[in-house]
Amino acid sequence: MTKPYSLKLGLSLFAFGLVGCQSIADPVPTDQVNNSVTYVQAGEGSYNHQAISRLSQHEGVTPEYKFSGTPLHTFQKADSNHTQAFVALRNDIVKGHLIEETVKAVQQYKITHVTAAVAEPIAMCLLRTKTAISQQLPLKAIASHPAALAQVTKWKSGKALSELSEPKGTSEAARLLSVGAYPETTAAIGSCMLPELYPSLSVAEYNIQDIENNTTLFGRFYVEKREKSISKKDAIEALKAVIDEAYPLSEWSKTS
């Protein structure tokens, strides 16, 4: 299984018309490109952060990137600044495998040029405060994004834990735990790299997700606003085509 990469690097540092679309091999006009910034879906400490940090290390560069929340907002920022977006395209265990929010973004934006891809293993960890671990406090509740809470059903079985849903994401749940917004008897569920962002936390348990081999495919690419939004059905087909082109670009990440 791929080893996690340090967040320190990151911190310092979908349809389109299938006819007449720009191939990933086609060059992007240099007078339209600002390579200084990449807009990244989600926020610090997210799996997106983990994936782009790993990509940056693979490429041997220290780019500037800005976290932009939803795929749609990420596309908007990348298009308006003539630069790239970095967004999740598919996941092994999501129903239909496609990322629903990315499909919605592709209805409004066309992906024109894919430059890189990462197949990132999604390992979920149980995060507790160092105080809770040192004092061996009982675990009474878990906090995370609803999607993450739904992916640890086997681990939760028989534990009778309260669940705190945090729609802003796994990283936000970890942040709230780190600043004392949750009781010490609460744990957050998220990336195993989150303690680097929130030093008061430690990993109490590794790989608690239901499916061990759970991978998300992330892509980095240029986008442009569509003159007219397309249907969800067409967006799904377009996104599938992008994924087919992105997969070969992610081969490096399956062995490193």
Give me the CATH code for the 7-121+214-254 domain, please: 3.40.190.10
Looking at residue 15, its pLDDT comes to: 27
Q: Among residues 47, 59, 42, 62, which one has the least CA distance to residue 4?
A: 47
Q: CA-CA distance, 25 to 29, in Å (whole number)?
A: 13
* pTM for this prediction: 0.77
Residue type at 167? P
The low-confidence residues of the chain, meaning pLDDT below 50, are 1-34
Q: CA-CA distance, 105 to 89, in Å (whole number)?
A: 11
Looking at residue 41, its pLDDT comes to: 93
Looking at residue 213, its pLDDT comes to: 83
Looking at residue 26, its pLDDT comes to: 42
Pair of tokens at residue 214: 């759970």
Please state which CATH class domain 124-205 belongs to.
Answer: alpha beta
Q: Kindly report, as residue ranges, where domains of CATH 3.40.190.10 are found in the chain.
A: 7-121+214-254, 124-205
Q: Among residues 87, 57, 43, 86, which one has the least CA distance to residue 194?
A: 43
Proportion of the chain above pLDDT 90, given as a percent? 71
